[in-house]
Amino acid sequence: MDSIHTFTVEGIANQQIDFSGFTGKKIMIVNVASRCGFTPQYAQLQELYDTYQDQLVIVGFPANDFGGQEPGTNQEIQSFCTTNYGVTFPMAAKIQVTGTLQHPVYSWLTQKSKNRQQDSTVNWNFHKFLLDEQGQLVNSLPSSVSPFDDQILDWLNAS
C-alpha cells in the first residue's frame, strides 16, 4: 500500500472514514484518549482543524493501549469529545495502536516496510503522524509535541 488513501476505517458513529476522500489535503492522525494528561490537546486539535480545515484533515483514533486511559465505548468517547471539546474532526472507532492486534492503519504508519518512509513507535496517547496531500507519511511526532508546535505549523504552511 503506497498511500494512506488506500484505507477505509470504521468511524466512531458506525460510519466509514474513507481516506481516499482526503486526497489533496494534509492529514494528521492522532491516537487519542479521554483520561490522559495530554487530553487537553483535543482543544488544540479542534482549533487547528477549524483554522486549517480547507487544507487539513485530522483523524482521531481512540485507543486504550496506554495506562487504561480510554476505557469508554465508542458512544461514550464521542459524547466526551463533543461535550468537553466540541470535536468535529473525524473520529475512528476505538482500536489498538500497538501489539499483536494493532490496527492495519497503525501497522502501515509505524513500519517503513509498508509506508516506505520510516519506522515509528507509538509510546503514548496523542502521538501525531503527519501525511502529505498524496497520503505519504512525512513525520511522526511524540505526544509532548503540541498541535501548535512550529514543526506542525511550518508543515501546514509549506506549499
Report the catalytic residues: 36
3-state helix, strand, coil in the chain (%, to 5): 30, 20, 45
* Spatial CA neighbour of 30 closest among 106, 135, 134: 106
CA atoms within 13 A on the CB side of 2: 1
C-alpha distance from residue 93 to each of 15, 77, 116, 117, 137 (Å) = 9, 9, 26, 26, 22
Rounded CA-CA distance 122/145 in Å is 13
- In terms of Cβ atoms closer than 10 Å to its own Cβ (0-12, 13-18, 19+), residue 154 is exposed
